[in-house]
A and B are shown apart, each in its own frame.
Chain A
Amino acid sequence: MTTFTLTPRWLARRPNARYMGLVLLVLLLLFAWLTPWLFPADPARQNLLHTLATPSLSEPLGTDHLGRSQLARLASAIRLSIGLALLSVLSAAIPGVLLGVAAGWRGDWLDRGLGLVADCVLAMPGLLLVFMLAAMAPGQFWSLYVGIALVLWVEYFRVVRAATRSLVTSPQLQASRLLGFGKVYLFRRHLWPELAPSVLTLAAFGAANAVLAVAALGFVSIGLRPPTAELGLMMTELLPYYQEAPWVLLQPIAAVFLLVLSFQLLAGRDPR
């Protein structure tokens, strides 16, 4: 008895990468939202007698250069990053998908017009746009979020437009239209099931990019202002102390790494 297969099974199916990403994200969420309950501490409260303390029972992750609780700061920074990431993903995905469907469906001038806008946004360096907005409203939460969403929507738009364009002329859509179904139905039954896998993958990648962008802006001191606990900002603040207290500096770095990893794993699409 002989078995012939063209692809080894382990290559054809990566086991549970998505599941691992989900577990990691849930753990991070639990850490970020449960810490204030279990260890209530003000992330901004300084204690100059206990700077750069090593982890102990009362301060499980040690303290930073101003004696602030590193645990409370890290949890607060992760909450901020995840919140901002989800918010900007949602506000990029919803208009991106809707405009993509509209352009792919109507075609013609609407498609050309929206395509032109999308190309213009793409031609602009994304980070620069965020810089610009951040410079216009320094230290404001909304400027970061609007800037990131403005850069991200184009991806959804392009993917959705291309998929919609081929689906609109397909027999399945034509058949449903002849049967008298309206546009909302066509979107729900025909378009969304086809679009959902790519949109969700894009959303996961987009969330990872948003986390990185916020941290990068914080690192070059353009984003949010101290004393806000933000991962990039924490790295900048702690960088001068890397020799005395490397473990403190490593914490925000590890947090960014784990956040991005969890989103990337979630985005890993099962090969069909």
Chain B
Amino acid sequence: MTSLHVDRLSVSANDQVLVAPFSFSLQAGQCLTLLGETGAGKSLLAQAIMGTLPAGLTAQGQITLDGEDLMALTLPRRRAIWGRRLILLPQEPWHALDPLMTAERQIQETYRHAAGHDTERAVRYARQDLVSLGLDTAGARLPGELSGGMAQRVAFAAARAAGGKMVIADEPTKGLDSARRDDVVAMLKQTLAEGGTLLTITHDVEVARQLGGRIMILRNGDCIEAGPADQVLQQPISEYGRRLVAAEPSRWAPRRQYSRPDAPPVIEATQLSKARGGRTLFSEISLSIAPGEIVGISGPSGCGKSTLGDLLLGLSRPDRGQVRRAPGVAARRFQKLYQDPPAAFAPHWTLDTLLKDLIRQHRLDATRIPPLMDRLGLANVLLDRYPSDVSGGELQRFALLRALLLDPVMLFADEPTSRLDPITQQETMALLIELARERECAVMLVSHDEALIRHSCDRCLSLGNAEPHRPVPSTASSLPA
């Protein structure tokens, strides 16, 4: 029987404690979810248990797997446990898979080399795994040709092929849309049903709810609340826990009705069509957006949401159709917010340098910055930092600041909060909407989270599923109670 006991485990760097002493124990068939914001030290805990902490970080305390003290083992002995008894399901699996090896071969490899089966068996078992995970057709494909959800399943099959029962899943649903997320959760629950033990690390409250079991809420390296999932998620005791649960988009306060002024539209598109790689992404889309209006764009991944944005922003040309912007409005007043904030900044310069460049380029009034920074909750000290040294939420607000300095009339927000934790997401969305309304800036909000769109947008445009363009009026009455 698998059992994992962690006793007073802490992680520190140069005498600075990053994760406070932390204890729990798990038996076969049990499930524990560590819930918390990015930077709460969740991933460090997983690495400490695996024994893969980056150089310079040290773990203290006791980790006992099936009665064996892991901390006393040498690195080669610990390596021998990986895969065979202890499995790590990594974040963003397409980074964990070998990009040049087909899905089936990667699973075979574990059977062959980690589990020690002969080639013939390895081939057979790998086939079986693919079939049982619903990936029959994906075996011959390379990771780059798999969708996020499929890659996650392949990575999982490869990880557990050596027979490990203790599974650590580090943000297994990061970057997946809600349908794929539910698939991954179902897959994890399947291992529980098969007698496995599960330690999941996530910032997604919904994942924690679906998994059930026990939950620990982490913040700044401290465990601030623990208990059975129902209890913690229904009636959180700690103030932070309450905020975390309330930050789920489905619990947001209903949006205020926005009376749409009959102003001329800021942007209009007629009969837009675009194909990529021989596949039609969308055809004959027409839309028109009024100043200050917030329009959601939803649809499964790969359905051309971002491409539509590129067309509207003039970054690429439609195959057919036309985009018309309001006459007399400068091109720079059509701006975009990106999914991954650090990717949207030049990484080698401080934020101050980048902001000053912008001021100089357009001869803007530099005195507008301090009040805007106050408004966005950005401290002055952040200006001297590099984009990589600022948290995702802060950087996204910087991106918003950068856009607002140019007085935008339209902001295309491409999943602006999908990489942020729930509380930061709620704050960022609230700011975005408030500022957009105030400045009559239209927002096109791309998201795979339907609840988020329902709670923040005036109307929604669904792409994909071969459905024709159909604006779905959303009303506050459609909220779940």
Contacts and interface: CB of A to CB of B under 8 A. Distances in A.
A54 interface: no
Contacts of A3: 58
Contacts of B75: 4, 6
Given A175-B344, A179-B402, A185-B357, A4 B53 contact: yes
Contacts of A194: 348
Q: Which of B332, B344, B362 is the most central at the interface, judged by chain A CB atoms within 10 Å of its CB?
A: B344
A171 B347 contact: no
Contacts of B343: 170-172
Nearest to B332: A180
A6 B406 CA distance: 47
Contacts of A178: 313, 315, 332, 334-336
A160 B447 CA distance: 35
B85 interface: no
B285 interface: no
Contact of A181 (B59, B71, B347, B357): B357
Interface string A151-167: 00000000000000000
Interface string A169-206: 01110111111110001000110011000000000000
A172 B346 contact: yes
Nearest to A192: B348
B180 interface: no
Interface residues of B, number: 38
Contact of A172 (B60, B313, B335, B347): B347
Contact of B348 (A1, A4, A171, A193): A193
Q: Which of A4, A5, A7, A185 is the most central at the interface, judged by chain B CB atoms within 10 Å of its CB?
A: A4
B386 to A, nearest CB: 11
Contacts of A9: 55
Contacts of A6: 52, 55, 75
Nearest to A189: B346
Tell me if B's interface is mostly helix, strand, loop or mixed: mixed
A4 B332 contact: no
B60 to A, nearest CB: 6
Contacts of B24: none
Interface in B299-313: 313
Interface string B31-69: 000000000000000000001111110111000000000
B357 A4 contact: no
Contacts of B338: 171, 175
A5 B331 CA distance: 51
A243 interface: no
A4 B78 contact: yes
B340 interface: yes
Interface residues of A, number: 25
Contacts of A174: 315, 336, 344
Contact of A4 (B59, B331, B334): B59
Interface in B177-223: none
A30 B276 CA distance: 60
A2 B313 contact: no
A179 B60 contact: no
A12 interface: yes
Given A171-B338, A171-B340, A179 B332 contact: yes
Interface string B321-343: 00000000001101110101001
Nearest to A182: B361
A180 B406 contact: yes
A175 B361 contact: no
B19 to A, nearest CB: 15
Contacts of A181: 357, 361
Contact of B358 (A4, A179, A193): A179
Contacts of B340: 171
Nearest to B343: A171
Nearest to A186: B346
A179 B52 contact: no
Interface in A1-33: 1-7, 9, 12
Given A179-B332, A179-B335, A4 B344 contact: no
Contact of B71 (A2, A176, A177): A2
A149 B53 CA distance: 47
A179 B58 CA distance: 44
A175 B337 CA distance: 8
Contact of A193 (B60, B346, B354): B346
A190 B59 CA distance: 38
B258 interface: no
Contacts of A175: 336, 338, 344-345, 399
B55 A185 contact: no
A108 to B, nearest CB: 14
Contact of A7 (B53, B55, B331, B357): B55
A185 B55 CA distance: 37
A176 to B, nearest CB: 7
A12 B55 contact: yes
B368 to A, nearest CB: 15
B151 to A, nearest CB: 21
B357 to A, nearest CB: 7
A7 B52 CA distance: 11
Contacts of B336: 174-175, 178
Contacts of B58: 1-3
Contact of A171 (B53, B54, B55, B344): B344
A172 B344 contact: yes
**9 nearest CB pairs, A to B:** A193-B348, A180-B332, A5-B55, A175-B344, A171-B343, A171-B344, A189-B346, A171-B338, A4-B51
14 contacts: A2-B71, A4-B51, A4-B53, A4-B59, A171-B344, A175-B336, A175-B338, A175-B344, A178-B313, A179-B402, A179-B406, A180-B361, A180-B406, A193-B349
Given A175-B344, A181-B361, 9 more contacts: A2-B72, A5-B54, A171-B344, A172-B346, A174-B315, A175-B345, A179-B335, A180-B406, A194-B348
